Amino acid sequence: MLRQLFKQLFEGPYTNLFPSKRVPKSTSGFLKGGKINPPVKVPENFRGKLSYERDKCIGCYSCIKVCPANAIEARIVDEKRKIRIHVARCTFCSQCVDVCPVKCLHMTDEFLLADYDKNSKNLTVE
C-alpha cells in the first residue's frame, strides 16, 4: 500500500485538464481568447451526437418507436416521411441506430454540445 501511495504522490494526474489547466479569472474572457487544452481522444464506438442522412431515410419511423426519451419526432418534408432529432432530449443510447433498416442514423464522436440557446441548430438534427 505504501508503494502505491508514493507512486501516486510523484506521478501527474490521470485526469485531462480540459478546457484549461487553471481556473480562468473570467470565463467569457477565456472563451474569447484563452488557450484551450484539447480534449482526450474519444474511444472507438463512442456514442456522441447523432447524424442523420435525410436522403437515405425511408420514413419507417422505427427510430421513433424505440426512442426511450422521445427525442425523435415525425415530419413531412416535400411529401416524404422524415424525422427531426432533438439532441437536447437524447440519452445517446443508440437504439435508433441499431433499429434503422437503411442505416441512415449514425453516432458521431462529437460531444461538446452545450449551448445557451435551447433552439440552437446545434441541438436539432433534421
Which domains can be identified in the chain, with CATH numbers?
2-125 (3.30.70.3270)
Residue 31 pLDDT more than 80? no
Whole-angstrom distance, CA of residue 34 vs CA of residue 24: 9
Phi, psi of 79 (to 5 degrees): 60, 25
**Set of cell numbers at residue 118:** 435551447
**pTM for the model:** 0.69
- Average pLDDT for 104-123: 81
Task: Note the pLDDT of residue 39.
Answer: 80
Q: Within a 10 A sphere around the Cβ of 87, how many other Cβ atoms? A: 18
Buried b (16+ CB within 10 A) or exposed e, 38-66: eeeeeeeeebbbbebeeeebeeeebbbee
